[in-house]
Structure 1
Amino acid sequence: MQIARTALSEPYQLTIERRVIYLRRLPPELDRFRIVQLSDLHHSPLTSRAQIERAVEIANDLAPDMVALTGDYVSHEREYAAPCAETLGRLRARFGVYAVLGNHDHWTDAPLVTDLLRAEGIQVLINEGRRFEARGCAFWLAGVDDAMVGLEDLALALAGSRENEMKLVLAHNPTILRRAARYGVDLILAGHTHGGQIAWPRRRRARRRLLQGLGQRGETQIYVSRGIGTVVLPVRYGCPPEVSLLELRTA
């Protein structure tokens, strides 16, 4: 009974996960650059608009330099796309809000989700990149489409980047890590896993690095968010929803 009560209440126990990430190629002028990441909102009958509004309020209170949105804004029903986009349109960051799509966005209506986000001033990156400039210096910011639906094109997203500049990639699915390491990506921000959503203690210890948090392959680091919403059932256990505050530091 106690486990059931915890599982039903945990989706509402929104946490702030603070991580410092050291990056060898981060320009010194961008030391302490702050990114807030939100992922897997899944606005639907299982995840209310109030839950998303709370995440947006927390994100704004953290006063980030950038907000990164890593996909799955809705689940299956198109009617939730507009209110979700409108709520996300209230996000504020010094240097902009950037987004990529997830598998549930494609299963619902990817063009609709994209158009609604862009109408709110959110820059949706679909297998594309750009030289992101702030504080008088720059790095390559890229976003890829979703791997689960077969539309990810990392090479295209990195086209135009310089060999020695720092590369930050937004992706929904963390399976991109191995490919990104081959391309010399410095940091990936991803979601998709929900931290397992139901994470029994033994399973959490065995697989934590695969499902959530900070991981690495070679010189490429990845941060995987547990996300905000839920799918299948409105429950979480051992992996509460999160707003991620990532502070980039020059290694």
Structure 2
Amino acid sequence: MNYFIFIPLIFLLLIDFYFFQSNSDLFEKKLFNITFYKYLYWILSIVVYSIMFYHSYDYQNESKFVNMKPYIFSLIFVIYISKFIGIFSLLIDDLIRLFKVFFNLFQSNEDKVDLSRIKFLKNASLFTAAAVFSTLTYGMIVNRYRFKVYTQKIKIKNWPNSLNNFKIVHISDLHLGSFESIEKLEEAIDIINSKNPDLILFTGDLVNNSFTEIRPFKKSLQKLKSKYGNFSVLGNHDYGDYIGIKRNSNKWIKNFNNLIKTQEECGFKLLMNESTEVKINDASFNLVGVENWGAGNFNKDGDFDKAIENIDNNNPTILMSHDPSHWREVILNHDFNIDLQLSGHTHGMQFGIEIPSFKWSPIKYRYKEWAGLYKKNNKQIYVNRGLGHLAYTGRVGILPDISLLNISNEV
């Protein structure tokens, strides 16, 4: 059993009590002569606590963890983030009431001020909670599979003239364990194939945790078509490190080897700290792929130096690396020139604002390069927003990403 579950449970219980107590007049209203809303509130809360407790009790049960966790987390997230944001105006109200209590200590009974809640702040709490709940629910129901094609022209100076307008479809972060149906994935695959890409490049996180997540989607992934091949790299979730299995144990090795085998059976050429030369008639370029390398506490299995051994320095080079922090921490400071790095990982936090000429997400404060194209020191990185979703099974503002990259030596 994962005993750390008691920490969030206690925190959520405190939120529940505070939100309930602050809006007690609403919950005490009767329906059919019973306090229906009060009972409904606590029944739903108890159901959530029970699901969390049950899930943590057997959190190493692979099938249960893989198949249930995204939906459980989304339920908990939507309900409690709505309450959590909603209580901020109540906290302001309680701070004001605290000052009133202090003020009343020095007043006669006739001059004491009313300690009841400020109606505006109380209503603001309910309105804010309802607005957040509605927005996140909309993100789950409507935006979750609202695939968007992001078209980007990219200039690489020494790109072969004969390969100008080379079309790469870049996808990332499928997280197949979070997909609801085969039909939704095939909808995205149809969009990809309709672009008639020269290459399909996938930059990691095919699964949430286990290779078994791929099985229902294997035949669908085999339908991905490109002129010159489909290539992939591993993301941090592809190692199976997040379900309590010790690295390099027999169970971990079995899962990891099966993931590699199954991914290649899906039609991807998996690049693991290695490179390949893509030759098209008399023109060619280098395609380099590294295992996951992430800043901070993320695993650093990626070995860029190993990947570029025996590489043709005269060719333009595209690097596939799951985590964009690899670019800022390693690639920008390396002597070898990478013309373009393709990454994913951030998901655009699945939350933000993206309109023409403006984009914002809280993830920008963790990753400086989090969505789209960035340039520095004659090097470039393009970050895909992710095709799938993780934890929260929805998206608000930042839609599922199919990136169509048009590569030329002039734009």
Choose from 149, 157, 177 the match for 1:24: 157
Instruction: Say if 1:206 and 1:76 are closer, same or farther in 2 by CA, change over 3 A.
Output: closer
Q: How far apart, in 2, do the equivalents of 1:206 and 1:84 lie?
A: 29
AA of the residue aligned to 1:16: V
Choose from 289, 313, 316 the match for 1:163: 313
Choose from 136, 142, 146 the match for 1:4: 136
Alpha-carbon offset, residue 197 of structure 1: 1.2
Larger Rg: 2
Choose from 276, 280, 285 the match for 1:134: 280
AA of the residue aligned to 1:67: I
Instruction: Say if 1:45 and 1:195 are closer, same or farther in 2 by CA, change over 3 A.
Output: closer
Q: How far apart, in 1, do the equivalents of 2:147 and 2:179 lie?
A: 15
Alpha-carbon offset, residue 203 of structure 1: 4.5
Alpha-carbon offset, residue 85 of structure 1: 3.5
The equivalent of 2:182 in structure 1 is 49
Q: How far apart, in 1, do the equivalents of 2:265 and 2:362 lie?
A: 42
The equivalent of 1:218 in structure 2 is 377
The equivalent of 2:262 in structure 1 is 116
Q: Is 1:47–1:234's contact at 8 Å kept on the other side of the alignment?
A: no
Choose from 351, 354, 359 the match for 1:198: 351
The equivalent of 2:166 in structure 1 is 33
Alpha-carbon offset, residue 204 of structure 1: 2.8
Moved over 4 A (4+): 200-203
The equivalent of 1:235 in structure 2 is 394
Q: Is 1:43–1:229's contact at 8 Å kept on the other side of the alignment?
A: yes
Question: C-alpha root-mean-square deviation of aligned residues, in Å?
Answer: 2.1
Q: Is 1:74–1:84's contact at 8 Å kept on the other side of the alignment?
A: no
Q: How far apart, in 2, do the equivalents of 1:16 and 1:40 lie?
A: 15
Between 210-219 and 73-82, report the one with greater CA deviation. Answer: 73-82
Q: How far apart, in 2, do the equivalents of 1:173 and 1:21 lie?
A: 20
The equivalent of 2:211 in structure 1 is 78
Aligned length: 251
Instruction: Say if 1:14 and 1:114 are closer, same or farther in 2 by CA, change over 3 A.
Output: same
Instruction: Say if 1:120 and 1:78 are closer, same or farther in 2 by CA, change over 3 A.
Output: closer
Q: How far apart, in 1, do the equivalents of 2:363 and 2:144 lie?
A: 22
Unaligned runs of 5+ residues in structure 2 are 1-130, 242-254
The equivalent of 2:304 in structure 1 is 154
AA of the residue aligned to 1:194: H
Q: Is 1:41–1:52's contact at 8 Å kept on the other side of the alignment?
A: no
Q: How far apart, in 2, do the equivalents of 1:103 and 1:220 lie?
A: 24
The equivalent of 1:173 in structure 2 is 323
Could you state the TM-score of these two structures normalised by the residue count of structure 1?
0.92
Identity %: 28
Structure holding more helix per residue:
2
Structure holding more strand per residue:
1
Alpha-carbon offset, residue 119 of structure 1: 2.1
SS in 2 for 1:59: helix
Deviations 1:137-163 (A, max 9, x none): 111111000113220011111111233
Could you state the TM-score of these two structures normalised by the residue count of structure 2?
0.58
Q: How far apart, in 2, do the equivalents of 1:140 and 1:189 lie?
A: 13
Alpha-carbon offset, residue 87 of structure 1: 2.0
SS in 1 for 2:312: coil
Q: How far apart, in 1, do the equivalents of 2:176 and 2:394 lie?
A: 14
Q: Is 1:30–1:135's contact at 8 Å kept on the other side of the alignment?
A: no
The equivalent of 2:77 in structure 1 is none
